[in-house]
Amino acid sequence: MQTKKIIGNIVLAMFVFFYVCNSAFGRDVLSNEELLKQISKLRELVEKQGETIEGQSQRIKELEAKHGIVERKIEEHTRKISELAPLDKDISERLKGQLKRLETAGAIEVGAGITFVGQGTPNANAVGSNSNERIKDSRFGASYSADVEIAKAFGNYGFAFVHLETGDGETIEGDLSLYPRCSVNRDADRAGNVVSLTEAWYEQYLFNDQIIITGGKIDPTAYIDVNEFANDETTQFLGSMFRNSPAIEFSDNSIGGRVYMTSVFFPAIDLGAIYLEGGGNWDEVFSKPFLGVQLSFMPEKAFGLEKPMWRGKYRAYFWYNGTDHTSLKEALKTEEKNFGFGLSCDQNITDVFGIFERFGWQNPKVAVIEYHWSVGGQMTGKCWKREEDVVAIAVGQVIPGKDCRDTVSNYKNETHLEAYYAVKLNDHLTLTPDMQVIWEPDGGGTVSGKDSDTIFVYGVRGQVDF
C-alpha cells in the first residue's frame, strides 16, 4: 500500500505541473469538473499498477524463497557427499576416491574414472614358453581399467553403493616372474573388456554413526590393511606390494558383511570386522569363510591434536582364510587353513609430509611368503607452489618361510623400490611417471641370481575422473 501512495503522489504532482505550464503559456485550461474526472481515472490507473507491482513483488519473494530452499538442499547434499568417507571410518583410499568422484544426477550420485598405464623393462625375467631359460628381452606394454560408481544416500541413516568395472591389458606382468601378490601393476584388469559387478552393498548407520553395518558384495581390501598413503593403485603406488600386504591372502570380492564400531566417549579407537565367503564362488558361505578384524588408534584424537598436520592412524589386524590349502612340505595334507596378522600405520608429519609403514605375517606351512614389511613417505608440491601434486617413495620386502626354503633351494628375499610423481594437470586429469626396481625377483632373479638380474621398470599412469 505504501508503494501505491508514493506512485499516486508522483503522478498527481506531474499533472499539476503540466496544468501550471499550460496556464503559464496561455493554452486552454481544463475545467474543474474535467480535471476531477481525469484525476479519478489516473487514480484508478495508479491503483491497478500498484496491485500489479505488489503481485510481482510477492512472486519475487516466492521465487527467492524457493531459490533459498534449493540452495540449502544443494549445500546439504554436498555436505553429505563430502562426509561419506571420512578418515575415521577407516576405509581404503580407493573407496574414498570413488566416493569423492560422485556427482549429483537427480537423487542418485554417479561417478566414473579411467586409468591408463604404460610400463616397460629392459630386462624381463619370465620363463620363455618353449624352454626353461628365462627371457632377457626388453618389453613394453599397456593396460587400462574403467570404473563406474553409482550411489545413493538415504538421509543420514543409510547408503547404497554399486561399482562396475572393466579393463584390458596387463602391461609387462606376463613378462616378469615375481613372488605371489608382488606384481608391478596392481591396476591391470584382465577382463577382456567384459563389464563386471565388482561391488554392490548397502550400509546402515546406527547411533549417530557409532555403529555401521554393511552387507552385500564387498571388497575386503577396502576395510582390512588400509592405509592413507599406500592404498590406491589409481592415484598412489602401482606395485601390489605397496597397495596391500602380500602376506594377506584376501578372498575375492564376495557375499558378506562388515561391522564398524566406535564411541563418542573413546573417539580415538575404533574396531572393524568383516565376514566373507572365502572362495569367491558363493557356494560355501559359512563353511569356508574369510574373516578379518582390525583395531585402529588415532593419536591426534587421543591427545587433542586436532590439526590436520597431526592426522594419523595405527592399525593392528588379524585374518583367517578358511578355504582348503595344500601343505608345502606334506602334499597329502590338502585341507590346511591360512591365517595371519599385521600392522598398517600412517602419520602426517607436517601439512606437507607423511610417512607410512606395514608389517605382515602368515602361516608359512601353506604360504610361500611368511613375512612382509614396507616403509615409505610422500610430500605434496606445496613447496614449489603445486599443492595438489604428490611425490612419493617406498621400499619393501617379502621373505619366504622356512617350509618354502626347505622345498625350493636358494629362495631369497625379494625387495621392491618404487617412486612416483603425480602431476595434477586439472580437476579431471592426473599424469604420474612411475619407476620401480626389484632385487632378487622370484627369490633369485634369473637363473644365475647375480646382481645383474635386478629388474628395472619404468612407466606412466594417466588417471581421468569425470
Instruction: Identify which of 218, 171, 207, 214 has the alpha carbon closest to the alpha carbon of residue 190.
Output: 171
Q: Which of 27, 50, 73 is the last residue of a domain?
A: 73
Query: Which cell goes with 240?
Result: 601390489
pLDDT at 34 over 90: no
Contacts of 107 (CB under 8 A, 6+ apart): 152
The answer as to whether 91 is a domain residue is no
Three-state secondary-structure class, residue 40:
helix
> Could you tell me if 374 and 244 are in contact, meaning their C-beta atoms sit under 8 angstroms apart?
no
Closest CA to 253 of 287, 290, 219: 219
* Model confidence pLDDT, tens digit, residues 403-430: 888 877 668 899 999 999 999 999 899 9
Q: Which residues contact 6 (CB under 8 A, 6 or more apart)?
A: none
| pLDDT value of residue 300 | 87
Which helix H or strand E contains 251, and what residues bound it? none
| Strand bridging mode 455-465 / 336-348 | unpaired
Q: What is the pLDDT of residues 380-407, one digit of tens each?
A: 999 999 999 999 999 999 999 988 888 7
Write out pLDDT tens, residues 205-232: 999 889 999 999 999 999 999 999 999 9
Residue 73 pLDDT > 60: no
Alpha-carbon span 237 to 151, nearest angstrom: 26
How confident is residue 65, by pLDDT bands cut at 50, 70 and 90? low
In this structure, are 315 and 252 located in the same domain?
A: yes
Whether residue 155 is found in the same domain as residue 51: no
Do 167 and 44 fall within a single domain? Answer: no
Can you give the CATH number for the domain in which 140 is found?
2.40.160.180
Examine the domain organization and report whether 312 and 396 are in the same domain.
Answer: yes
pLDDT of residue 373: 98
Question: For a pLDDT cut of 70, what percent of the chain falls above it?
Answer: 76
Domain assignment of residue 100, yes or no: no
Cα dihedral 439→445→446→449 (10° resolution): 90
* Same-domain check for residues 203 and 335: yes
Residue 99 lies in a domain: no
Cα-based distances in Å from 62 to 4, 72, 350: 21, 15, 49
Is the pLDDT score of 450 beyond 70? no
Task: Give how many domains the chain has, as a whole number.
Answer: 2
What is the crossing angle of helices 2-24 and 32-82, to 10°? 140
- DSSP β-bridge partners for residue 44: none
Tell me whether residue 207 is in a domain: yes
Final residue of a structural domain among 73, 100, 126: 73
Residue 160, pLDDT > 60, answer: yes
Kindly provide the residue ranges of all beta strands, DSSP E only, lying in 155-233, ordered along the sequence.
Answer: 158-169, 196-206, 211-218
Domain final position from 53, 73, 93: 73
How many degrees, rounded to 5, is the angle at CA 306 between CA 301 and CA 310? 90
- The verdict on 11 and 133 lying in the same domain is no
Cell digits for 276? Answer: 566373507
Q: Is residue 89 part of a domain?
A: no
> pLDDT value at position 403?
87
Checking phi first, is residue 145 left (phi over 0); if not, alpha (psi -120 to 50) or beta?
A: beta
Please give the Cα distance from 116 to 184 (Å, whole number). Answer: 14
| 57 and 139 housed in the same domain | no
pLDDT tens for 276-290 read 998 877 777 888 999
Contact between 165 and 146 (Cβ < 8 Å): yes
Q: Are 361 and 370 in contact (CB under 8 A)?
A: yes
Over residues 308-322, the mean pLDDT reads 92
353 and 297 in one domain?
A: yes
97 contact partners, CB below 8 Å, separation of at least 6: 113, 232, 234, 235
Distance (Å, rounded) from C-alpha 298 to C-alpha 87?
10
Helix (H) or strand (E) holding 99: helix 93-101
Distance from C-alpha of 176 to C-alpha of 358, rounded to nearest angstrom:
24
Q: Are residues 164 and 210 in the same domain?
A: yes
| Residue 419 in grid coordinates | 617412486
For residues 216 and 323, membership in a common domain is answered with yes
Least confident of 7-21, 93-107, 337-351, 434-448: 7-21
> DSSP string covering 48-88, please?
HHHHHHHHHHHHHHHHHHHHHHHHHHHHHHHHHHHTSS-GG
Domain-embedded: residue 81: no
Phi and psi angles of residue 20, each rounded to the nearest 5 degrees, phi first: -65, -40
Eight-state DSSP code of residue 134: B
280 located within any domain: yes
Q: Do 16 and 147 share a structural domain?
A: no
Residues 6+ apart with CB under 8 A from 203: 158, 159, 160, 161, 212, 213, 214
**How far is residue 343 CA from its own chain's centroid?**
21
One domain for residues 370 and 434: yes
Does some domain include residue 362? yes
Class of residue 257 by CB neighbours under 10 A (exposed 0-12, middle 13-18, buried 19+): middle
Domain that residue 413 falls in: 108-465
- Contact indicator for 417, 385 with CB cutoff of 8 Å: no
pLDDT at 66: 62
4-33 residue pLDDT tens: 555 555 555 555 555 555 544 444 555 666
- Residue 337 makes CB contacts below 8 A (sequence gap 6+) with 320, 321, 322, 323, 324, 325, 363, 366
